[in-house]
Amino acid sequence: MSENTSDRQPEDVPATPPVPETPAAAAAQHTPPAGWHVPPRPAPPTPTSGAPYPVGAGASFGSPSQPTQPTQPTLPLGDGGRGYGETPAAAQETATSTKRKSGAVRVAGLLVAAAVVGGAAGLGGAYAGVSLFQPASTATTATGPTSVTVNDTDDVNQTTAIAAKVVPSVVTIEAAGGAGSGTGSGVILSSDGYVVTNTHVVTLDGATGDAAIRVTTSDGRVFDAEIVGTDPLYDLAVIKLQDADGLTPIEFADSSDLNVGDETTAVGAPLGLSNTVTTGIVSALNRSIEIASSAAPDEGDADENQGEAPPFSFDFGQGQQSGQPAESIKIAVIQTDAAINPGNSGGALVDSQGRLIGVNVAIASAGGTSSTQGNIGVGFAIPSDIVQRVTDELIENGSATHGLLGANVQSAAYVDDADITGAYIAEVTAGGAAEAAGLRAGDIVTEFNGVPITDSVDLTAQVRALAAGSEVSLTYVRDGRDATADVTLGELEQ
């Protein structure tokens, strides 16, 4: 919600133009691309809880009769000169308007959730494979869930070993509510059933706050689950499987140690196809994206339909879209070319040793309708370092904190007379973290905690990634000279 009131905290990005609030949209139904043959599939069994789950062969969310919605062209990654501000629960203040530089190029594309599809189609086999992570002298068959098919145990490769290790730690999530139903993925955090996924999976893309959730493990066990906490500002959520034990938790890696070119493997349930493994590399680091928020609607807000979409928006393949979401979030992500499709959201992105480096959250699409959206080799995952911090806080407190810089900023490339890229500070908040650190209007932030800052989306994503009270160092340019400042971040009210 965009406001300019004295009793609300400003965001760290501008609202130029302001973006009115709508609930996060449920997105259009997924249908196979032209030329695909989809054999009929039986409807999944009705859950014991009585909540409806995906039905019908090839159906996405809700009824197969629900119309699909057209996708939307977008601006270049970042704020594209439009000065979009972040609008989570704490409202933002508008900043000085920006001026688009001549020659700015529009890029056709759409950021879509690698989220949720209807109809579960389990894959699997009866052999768990050979773990290449075992010492050479103990080359033994992996134990646990038997969902990775290995036909020739004398000729397995690293990907086979990664699959054998990781698949037991990834689950398929079915969520159902009055707004529809669908499936996504999740990653096991503990043997007694804590699982991380995306907020948009458990809220049906922001359509409901009380979805019925059931979880299927890779070995076919089914559990009811309840939401422990959601963090819409970074699209993460933790759920708890009821009466679960003996699960296989994922091993975490340090995502700050990644290099471009490192091997990646994505595991999840794309298009409802559980236990799917795809491979690729880290194709970019220090990427920041702006996407639609999937916060559960407040009571009475579910039928609102107003506003315009952010530069990049989700399209979840979830049935009829209720409106264009105006509320957006900025998140720092790992970019990968491992195939990620609707249904992969909440699943694992792992390194060459089968350790978690990210939670898959979104894909980029070249455009078209929701029925043609799919992997084009540009997928995004929330880094494991952020995942670990947020999930720890969700499990302990039911909510997570996020940093606040206390400044309205915009992309320097679209400000008159600016000759460098960065986040231009249009205004600082009295008594805020930026003012306390000596920053002032006109400064251009170019680096934050060692991460290059090229626009306002970069800065906001990095600030939000950290907990309230974090101490950071940033580099800025004032009057043509570089300077540094140590900042203690405030807390964003939600």
> Looking at the annotation, which residues are catalytic?
200, 235, 345
In the structure encoding, which two tokens stand for residue 405, read together? Answer: 């810089």
DSSP3 helix / strand / coil % (the chain, rounded to 5): 10, 30, 60
In the structure encoding, which two tokens stand for residue 337, read together? Answer: 């070319």
Angle (CA) 431-469-461 rounded to 5° is: 90
Distance in angstroms (rounded) separating the CA atoms of residues 420 and 415 = 10
- Length of the chain in residues, anyone? 494
For 396, the enclosing helix (H) or strand (E) is helix 384-397
Dihedral of the alpha carbons of 232, 22, 88, 461, in degrees to the nearest 10: 80
The terminus-to-terminus CA distance of the chain in angstroms comes to 12
Distance in angstroms (rounded) separating the CA atoms of residues 392 and 189 = 10
Dihedral of the alpha carbons of 297, 467, 338, 187, in degrees to the nearest 10: -70
**DSSP secondary structure letter of residue 70:** B
Q: For tokens 């706050």, what's the residue? A: 209
Closest of 179, 120, 85 to residue 409, by C-alpha: 85
Distance in angstroms (rounded) separating the CA atoms of residues 398 and 229 = 5
Asked whether the bond before 17 is cis by omega within 30 degrees of 0, the reply is: yes
Q: Are strands 379-383 and 403-404 parallel, antiparallel or unpaired?
A: unpaired
Coil vs helix vs strand at 311: coil
Distance in angstroms (rounded) separating the CA atoms of residues 96 and 156 = 59
Coil vs helix vs strand at 493: coil
Closest of 292, 395, 375 to residue 335, by C-alpha: 375
Distance in angstroms (rounded) separating the CA atoms of residues 457 and 432 = 20
- Please give the backbone phi and psi of residue 14, each rounded to the nearest 5 degrees, phi first: -85, 175
In the structure encoding, which two tokens stand for residue 351, read together? Answer: 């390194």
